[in-house]
Amino acid sequence: MEPPPVTTYAQLVLGPPGSGKTTYCKGMAEYLRGLGRDVAIINLDPAAPSTPYDATIDVAALVTTPAVAATHGLGPNGALIYAFEYLAANTDWLVAALRPHRGKYWLFDMPGQVELSTHNDAIRGLLSALTRGGGVRLAAVNLVDAAHCADVGKWVAALLVSITVMFQVELPIVNVLSKVDLVEAYGGLENIEQYAEGMDLEYLVGALDDDPRLTKYAALNRALVGLVDDYSHVRFQTLSITSQESVGALVKVVDKANGYMFSEMDAAGLMAARVP
C-alpha cells in the first residue's frame, strides 16, 4: 500500500534588498524549530556571498552570480537575472534536491530584485515547478523595512509594490513591516498601530489628500485606496525578529495563509496557536 501523500508547508520570503529576508529566515527557522517543526531553509539568492544560517539547499551549488559575471562579462544585475533564469531553466535540479525534504517546513530565501517579479517569468516558472504534483502549500511573506513607511505616501508606495509582487506570484501573501524594534529605538512610527490593524480607508484617503504634495492626486488617491480595499491589503503585520512574541504572532498569520494551521502535524503548534 502506498504511504499517504505528504503535505509540505512553505514560506516564500520576498522583499527589497535590505528588508531583512535572510535575517528573517534565520530567526523564523529558530523559532519554528523551537515549536518542534522540522525546518529546511533553501537559499535561492545566487548573489548571496554566504548565509548566516545553515542552508539545507543552496542555489550556490548550481549557480552563483560572481561565476556568471566572470564567465559572461555581466554587471551585477545582468548576472543575477541570468543566474535566476538559469535556475528556472533547471528546476529539476531543485525539485530533485527538495524531494528528500518533503513533509518538512520550507523557508525560501529569495533575491531582492524587483525585475524578477515584474519583468520576468522566472519566478513563475520556478513556483509552478515547485508546486507541480501537488502537496506543497506556499504563502508569500513580503518584507518591507518599517523605516520606509514614515508617512502615508510612502506606505501607499509600499502597498503598491506588495500588490505588484502578489500579482506576479499569485500566492496568498502576508505583508510584514520588519525591523519595528529599530524604528521604535529611533522614535517610532506615527501610524504604526493603524498600519497593523488596518487603516480606515476614508482616513487613508483623507491623510493622502492632506499631504500638500499629494492633494493634486485626489482622484488617484481615491482610486488607489479603492484598489487596495478590493484586494484586502490594508493590513501589515509588524515584526521584530528578535522578539519571540512578535515572531509568534506572525507565525499564526502565516499558518493561516498557507494552511498549516489546518494540518494535524503539529500538536505543539496548535497548543501555541490557542494561546491568546
| Residue 134: Cβ within 10 Å count | 8
In sequence order, the 6+-apart residues with CB closer than 8 A to the CB of 215 are: 209
The DSSP code sequence of 130-167 is: HHTTS-EEEEEEEEEEGGGGSSHHHHHHHHHHHHHHHH
Query: Could you give the CA distance from residue 28 to residue 241 in angstroms, rounded to a whole number?
Result: 8
Using DSSP, state whether 238 is helix, strand or coil.
strand
> Within positions 34 to 63, which residues make up the interface with other proteins, using CB under 8 A?
45, 47-50
Could you say whether residue 170 binds other proteins (CB under 8 A)?
Answer: yes
Could you say whether residue 65 binds other proteins (CB under 8 A)?
Answer: yes
Among the candidate windows 97-105, 130-138, 144-152, 262-270, which touches other proteins by CB under 8 A?
A: 144-152
In sequence order, the 6+-apart residues with CB closer than 8 A to the CB of 275 are: none
* Angle CA 164–165–171, to nearest 5: 125
Q: How far is the CB of 45 from other proteins (least distance, A)?
A: 8
Could you say whether residue 239 binds other proteins (CB under 8 A)?
Answer: no
> Within positions 197 to 226, which residues make up the interface with other proteins, using CB under 8 A?
211-214, 216-217, 219-220, 223-224, 226
Could you say whether residue 132 binds other proteins (CB under 8 A)?
Answer: no
Backbone angles phi, psi at 109, to 5 degrees: -90, 115
> Within positions 8 to 27, which residues make up the interface with other proteins, using CB under 8 A?
16-19
Question: Considering beta carbons, is residue 168 or 266 the nearer one to other proteins?
Answer: 168
Could you say whether residue 190 binds other proteins (CB under 8 A)?
Answer: no
Question: Considering beta carbons, is residue 88 or 163 the nearer one to other proteins?
Answer: 163
Inter-residue contact 21 to 14 (CB < 8 Å): yes
Q: How far is the CB of 62 from other proteins (least distance, A)?
A: 17
Footprint on this chain of other proteins (rule: CB under 8 A): 16-19, 45, 47-50, 65, 75-81, 112-115, 117-119, 145, 147-148, 153-154, 156-158, 160-161, 163-164, 166-168, 170, 187, 211-214, 216-217, 219-220, 223-224, 226-227, 230-231
